[in-house]
Amino acid sequence: MTLRNGLSEELNRQGNEHFSKGYYTEAYTCYAKALECDRLSGDRRALVATLGNLGNICAVSGRRDSAQAHYQEVLELQKILGDEKGIGTTLANLGNLRADAGEWDRARAYYLEALDLMTKTHDETAQAVLFSDLGLVARETGHVEEAIRCYERSLTLMRRLGNQAGVADAWRMIGRTYVIQKRYQDAIACCQTSESIAERLRDELRTGGARYVLVQCYEEMGQLQEAVDLLEQVVSMDRKYQLPKLEENTQRLKLLRFRLAGSVRA
Domain boundaries along the sequence of the chain? 1-82
Q: What is the DSSP string of 217-230?
A: HHHHTT-HHHHHHH
CB 134 within 8 A of CB 115: yes
pLDDT at 262: 87
**pLDDT higher than 90, residue 263:** no
Q: Which CATH superfamily is domain 1-82 in?
A: Tetratricopeptide repeat domain (1.25.40.10)
pLDDT tens-place string over residues 113-171: 999 999 999 999 999 999 999 999 999 999 999 999 999 999 999 999 999 999 999 99
pTM, rounded to two decimals:
0.90
pLDDT at 3: 60
pLDDT tens-place string over residues 69-124: 999 999 999 999 999 999 999 999 999 999 999 999 999 999 999 999 999 999 99
Helices (H), the chain: 3-20, 24-41, 44-60, 64-81, 84-100, 104-120, 124-140, 144-161, 164-180, 184-200, 204-220, 224-241, 246-265
DSSP tag of 122: T
